[in-house]
């Protein structure tokens, strides 16, 4: 996410940091480089102009040139102005005065509207709500089947399986069903088009007038850059939006849409899609995204992902096992599966301060393959072997290699790495780590 922009901004700040004291000429040159980086990232020119004017005014007013750490002051100002452009604070979903609340998802075909509807329903379900999905996209072939399948996978009810019914009739029936089942949220997947046209806008405006949703959310593909901004402007003008959901953010190396859309349209971003998994939908926090763009990580989001994926009681049990050197391959397999729930390793590393460059260098396909291979090796072991790897001799290694489709060399490598991890985990848990290792961790 934002790989290109983050790299270019990091280079600008590194150059400023090497200069020590700054002159006004240095600041002008840095702003020129930032301007080029933003324009190359497909950020709207109005956003770029306003952004740079604010930075220069604040830099001069704050007397950055006299500061002992001018580069850090500039970074602080840039970060704060990024937050302002992105929307300052998180904007929550609006709950209706009378339940159920209704969220109407609109957008063009190909933006990920149907999968986003399911992701939003799962997000609400995990937050203790009772969502009902509504398949009102009767125009796109298989849209209804897709939503029904996603609903079954996530154990979320779906209304509107009649492809011949008109969308308004489907929505009315869904609202009755929501009342009967005491649903707290109704999420409607509406019809889209390949391009914006008058017929689509008229239909959506009529549907909105009839069902009175508390949220009209535009689902838009972040990778389309300025087209996403133009699409949002048109939908807002013709239908009236309450929020935006940017999808495919994990594939957006530039970031033009994310940095432009709120400023240009005035409509707040409420969620971002960060992957294909049903859980890959994050509430949008402007300050956290600004931090990611500047390569400073996003520790709060990482903690939230961990809290969702890890069972607290299980974590305490694992800590106890680590302290007593009882941490087994069975425990390791469980940890591996829980980490997979949090997202790809590359995405997780990007949330760590100072590690954003490393995250982009990890090929996700290779990472998934290695994790599946480890899982296959452990699953090919007997319960006794997982609990006590020391009993795994040559013949057992050959059997495990055959069962997992790997080689004995790969079995040896995993067992050696696990043994080292066991020792390291025990030392870390008891605070008896060698001094040179502690020094290494502090760096």
**Residue 139 DSSP one-character state:** S
Q: Is the pLDDT of residue 253 over 90?
A: no
Is residue 416 very low, low, confident or very high in pLDDT (cuts 50, 70, 90)? confident
With 0-12 CB in 10 A as exposed, 13-18 as middle and 19+ as buried, what is 58? middle
Q: Is the pLDDT of residue 419 over 70?
A: yes
The rounded mean pLDDT for the chain is 82
How far out from the chain centre does Cα 421 lie? Answer: 29
Using one digit for the tens of pLDDT, what is the confidence trace for 26-62?
Answer: 888 889 999 998 988 888 899 999 999 998 888 877 6
| Mean pLDDT of the region 215-221 | 95
Structure tokens at 400: 């495990």
Q: Is the pLDDT of residue 329 over 50?
A: yes
Q: Is the pLDDT of residue 220 over 90?
A: yes
Between 272 and 18, residue with greater pLDDT = 272
- How many Å apart are CA 105 and CA 271, to the nearest integer? 12
Peptide bond before 100: cis, by omega within 30 degrees of 0?
Answer: yes
Using one digit for the tens of pLDDT, what is the confidence trace for 123-175?
Answer: 999 999 999 999 999 888 788 999 999 999 999 999 987 778 899 999 999 99
| Mean pLDDT of the region 391-409 | 93
Cα dist. 359→181, 311, 336, 349 in Å?
A: 44, 26, 18, 5
Using one digit for the tens of pLDDT, what is the confidence trace for 344-373?
Answer: 656 655 555 554 554 554 455 555 677 788
| 294 phi/psi in degrees, rounded to 5 | -85, 5
Between 355 and 3, residue with greater pLDDT = 3
- How many Å apart are CA 184 and CA 95, to the nearest integer? 9
Alpha helices in 96-225 (DSSP H): 113-126, 143-154, 167-180, 198-211
Using one digit for the tens of pLDDT, what is the confidence trace for 175-200?
Answer: 999 999 999 999 999 988 878 888 88
| Mean pLDDT of the region 88-109 | 92
Which residue ranges form the domains of the chain, and what is each CATH number? 3-86 (1.20.120.140), 101-295 (3.40.50.300), 302-442 (1.10.260.30)
**CA 142, 148, 150: angle at the middle one, nearest 5?**
100
- How many Å apart are CA 253 and CA 218, to the nearest integer? 21
Which one, of 69, 68, 62, 70, lies nearest residue 25 by Cα? 70
């Amino acid at each position: 996410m934002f790989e290109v922009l983050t790299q270019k901004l990091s280079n600008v700040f590194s150059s400023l940091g090497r200069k020590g004291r700054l002159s006004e000429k240095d600041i002008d040159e840095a702003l020129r480089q930032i301007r080029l980086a933003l324009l190359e990232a497909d950020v709207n020119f109005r956003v770029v102009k306003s952004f740079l004017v604010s930075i220069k005014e604040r830099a001069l007013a704050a007397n950055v040139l006299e500061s002992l750490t001018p580069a850090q002051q500039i970074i602080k100002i840039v970060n704060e102005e990024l937050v302002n452009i992105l929307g300052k604070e998180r904007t929550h979903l609006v709950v209706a005065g009378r339940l159920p609340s209704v969220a109407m998802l609109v957008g063009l075909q190909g933006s990920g509207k149907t999968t986003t509807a399911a992701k939003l329903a799962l997000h609400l379900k995990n937050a203790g709500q009772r969502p009902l999905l509504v398949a009102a996209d009767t125009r796109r072939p298989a849209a209804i089947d897709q939503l029904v399948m996603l609903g079954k996978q996530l154990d979320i009810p779906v209304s509107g399986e009649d492809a011949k019914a008109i969308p308004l009739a489907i929505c009315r029936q869904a609202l009755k069903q929501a009342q009967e089942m005491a649903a707290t949220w109704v999420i409607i997947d509406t019809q889209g088009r390949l391009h914006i046209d008058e017929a689509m806008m008229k239909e959506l405006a009529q549907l909105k007038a009839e069902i009175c949703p508390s949220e009209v959310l535009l689902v838009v593909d972040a990778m389309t850059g300025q087209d996403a901004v133009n699409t949002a402007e048109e939908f807002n003008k013709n239908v009236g939006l309450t929020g935006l959901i940017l999808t495919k953010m994990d594939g957006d190396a530039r970031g033009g849409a994310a940095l432009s859309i709120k400023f240009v349209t005035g409509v707040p971003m409420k969620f971002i899609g960060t992957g294909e998994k049903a859980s890959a939908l994050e509430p949008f926090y402007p300050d956290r995204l600004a931090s990611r763009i500047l390569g400073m990580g996003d520790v709060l989001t990482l903690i939230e992902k961990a809290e969702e994926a890890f069972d607290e009681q299980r974590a305490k049990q694992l800590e106890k096992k680590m302290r007593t050197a009882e941490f087994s391959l069975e425990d390791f397999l469980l940890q591996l599966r829980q980490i997979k729930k949090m997202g790809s390793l590359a995405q997780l590393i990007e949330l760590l301060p100072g590690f954003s460059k490393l995250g982009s260098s990890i090929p996700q396909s290779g990472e998934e393959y290695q994790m599946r291979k480890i899982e296959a090796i452990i699953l090919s072991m007997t319960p006794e072997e997982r609990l006590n790897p020391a009993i795994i001799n040559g013949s057992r290694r050959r059997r495990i290699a055959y069962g997992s489709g790997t080689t004995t060399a790969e079995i040896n490598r995993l067992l050696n790495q696990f043994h080292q991890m066991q020792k390291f985990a025990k030392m870390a848990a008891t605070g008896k780590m060698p001094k040179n290792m502690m020094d290494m961790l502090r760096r």
